[in-house]
Amino acid sequence: MMKVARLADGSPEIFHTLQGEGQSLGAPAVFLRLSQCNLHCHWCDTPYTWNWEKTPWEHQDGVKFQRAKESLELSSQEIAELISQHQCDRVVITGGEPLLQQKELIELIKQLPQISTIEFETNGTIIPHPELITPSIFFNVSPKLANSGMKTDLRINFEALKFFRDQSNAVFKFVVCDEDDLAEILQIQATLEIASSRIILMPEGRDQETLAQRAQWLAEVCLTHAFRFSPRLHVILWGNERAR
Ligand code: SF4
């Protein structure tokens, strides 16, 4: 059984939308949002996947969520059927941290023969199982910076990041709060020897005003360092609404 994020009406968070971030920005996709994360970033835009009552984690919103309301368990077959209801050949599996449920994901993917492209949104701390390394599976790796509030040894796993670096189907997406973040990004790039063309910078923000303000200077940083820039299309289109 897989732990899936649950919407206010009790249904699992599986929805058809446009990919809002990264290298396939704008592509129609079915999103599957899983519960649980091994990090607890203080600006996380999906704290309902992990910041449950009676946990010690802190988030800038100061809100705790009821686990039973925010998460449900479904079999891989049930999830595959829900995904198949949409006329779409791309699936984005996100969270939380989806690679915490790799065993179940391998079973799910076997039941999605109509899907031509699968993207994982991962924080880059967990090495994927060999069965997840296929030409149709892509990894959007988002190593967390000091701005996440996480200790370095929790958020940066160089062994895992090197694994992703060596995969042709992986890009690195950094969430940037301010210009001080750049030094850390450049240090990670130098340590791992990642080509600039595989690095995407994206402003942190859950509202259009914050994103627009940060996008201005971040665009200049991308031009200077030959990084790609990513907006957050879903926030521009729908604000912080869930399942969009
Ligand atoms: S790694 Fe991603 S899902 Fe997990 S807490 Fe950080 S921002 Fe949220």
Output the domain CATH number for residue 74: 3.20.20.70
- 10 Å Cβ neighbour count for 59? 17
Whether 136 is covered by a domain: the verdict is yes
What is the average pLDDT across 234-243?
89
pLDDT of residue 241: 87
Whether 221 is covered by a domain: the verdict is no
Whether 111 is covered by a domain: the verdict is yes
pLDDT of residue 240: 84
Q: Which residues pair with 176 in a beta bridge?
A: 203
Could you give the CA distance from residue 183 to residue 7 in angstroms, rounded to a whole number? Answer: 38
Collapsing DSSP to helix, strand or coil, 42 comes out as: coil
Of the candidates 29, 26, 25, the one whose C-alpha atom is nearest the C-alpha of residue 17 is 29
Question: What is the pTM (predicted TM-score) of this model?
Answer: 0.96
**Ligand 1 pocket check: which of 41, 51, 57, 240 to mutate, most ligand atoms within 8 Å of Cβ?**
41
Whether 39 is covered by a domain: the verdict is yes
Ligand 1, atom nearest to 121 Cα = 2
Q: How many domains does the chain have?
A: 1
Whether 120 is covered by a domain: the verdict is yes
Whether 233 is covered by a domain: the verdict is no
Ligand 1 binding pocket, CB closer than 6 Å: 37, 39-41, 44, 46, 95-97, 123, 144, 148
Cβ proximity of 102 and 120 under 8 Å: no
Is the pLDDT at 223 greater than 90, yes or no?
A: yes
**Ligand 1 pocket check: which of 92, 97, 148 to mutate, most ligand atoms within 8 Å of Cβ?**
97
Whether 215 is covered by a domain: the verdict is no
Whether 223 is covered by a domain: the verdict is no
User: Residue 54: which domain range?
Assistant: 2-191
